[in-house]
Amino acid sequence: MYKILLLTITLSISLYGDAKKYIGASFGTYTEKFTNKNNTDKTSLTTLKVGYGDHKAYSIELSLQKTTNNSNIFSKLDKNKYMFNVELIKAFDLDTFIIPFFKIGFGTGRVSIKDINKDSLYSGSFNLAAGSYIPLNNSLDIEIGVNYRYISYEKFEKENQIMSYKSNATIFYTGLNFRF
């Protein structure tokens, strides 16, 4: 089902005349608030991404993100979180200096933990974002945005209890994209 949806989106985008490939990187602040625990993780986020489409209309984007984990919510020695996301972008060309956009997508993630029974936890996420591109020329633009992410972590056993964590993350970021 997902392959058919992805193929349909890719074909639709490729038929658009101004579609380009792009690569980019962004840096931001990552705040994750857990819904069933009174913990908040505030840290930095680094993103590398590739995409295809028209930054004034529709694009599809794949991103790999790394977050330094400081919270030790899952175990006493939590490590970095890695996330992989697929997002559809709708941008609006308003004939102004900025090009606003919305993103919607989903992702999967992994966090390394130090536990007797497990060495990592996996997660799934639903992502929504809004922001703006600021074109510097035909090939380079600055991206500024905010991303909301609902995350559900896999269940695991800790101290003879089944643990289940869900969270809401807010990401403020800025980055640079190179289109070719």
What pLDDT sits at residue 10?
61
DSSP state of 154: P
- Of 71-75, 93-97, 139-143, the range with the highest mean pLDDT is 139-143
Domain range for 173? 2-179
Q: Report how many domains make up the chain.
A: 1
Q: How confident is the model at residue 114 (pLDDT cuts 50, 70, 90)?
A: confident
DSSP state of 16: S
Confidence check: pLDDT of 15 > 60: no
- What tens digit of pLDDT does each residue of 50-74 get? 999 988 889 999 999 998 876 667 7
Phi, psi of 90 (to 5 degrees): -120, 115
Dihedral angle of Cα 81, 122, 172, 94, to the nearest 10 degrees: 130
Confidence check: pLDDT of 172 > 60: yes
Q: Which of 10-19, 37-46, 65-74, 141-150 has the lowest mean pLDDT?
A: 10-19
Q: Say which CATH number the domain at 132 has.
A: 2.40.160.20
Q: Rounded to two decimals, what is the model's pTM?
A: 0.83
Confidence check: pLDDT of 152 > 70: yes
What pLDDT sits at residue 99?
95
Q: Residue 162, Cβ neighbours under 10 Å: how many?
A: 8
**Residues in Cβ contact with 110 at an 8 Å cutoff, skipping those fewer than 6 apart:** 81, 82, 83, 120, 121, 122, 123
